[in-house]
Amino acid sequence: MLLLRVVAALESGRVEGYRRAAEVFGVSQRSVGTWWRAYRQDGRDGLATRKGRPGPAELISVEDRGTLFAAMADHTPGNC
């Protein structure tokens, strides 16, 4: 995982500072800071993958989606 490599580079001193780590690994300084603080606070457990923001709510129900797809399949060009 990239975040483990970033933290290892900071901890070993191969990379100094959030800015340099962000440049070397192609991530934001904010991500580097978040990962480093989590590691310093809780060790490797602090780097466990967390769920991000929830996705958008479903706009139609599963049942309605099935009905919609069936109607679309029946009325595609070539089927009319």
- Structural domain contains residue 33: yes
**Domain count along the chain:** 1
pLDDT above 60 (res 80): no
CA–CA gap between residue 80 and residue 40 (Å, rounded): 64
In a domain? residue 8: yes
Report pLDDT for 62.
84
Q: 61 lies in a domain? A: no
Q: State which residues form the domain around 37.
A: 2-47
Q: Residue 43: inside a domain, yes or no?
A: yes
pTM: predicted TM-score of the whole model, two decimal places: 0.60
> What pLDDT score does 51 carry?
67
- Average pLDDT of the chain to the nearest whole number: 88
| HEC secondary structure over the chain | CHHHHHHHHHHHCCCCCHHHHHHHHCCCHHHHHHHHHHHHHHHHHHHCCCCCCCCCCCCCCHHHHHHHHHHHHHCCCCCC
Euclidean distance between CA atoms 19 and 36, whole angstroms: 12
Token pair for 44: 């490797």
pLDDT tens figures, 28-63: 999 999 999 999 999 998 988 766 677 777 888 888
Q: What is the mean pLDDT of residues 6-14?
A: 95
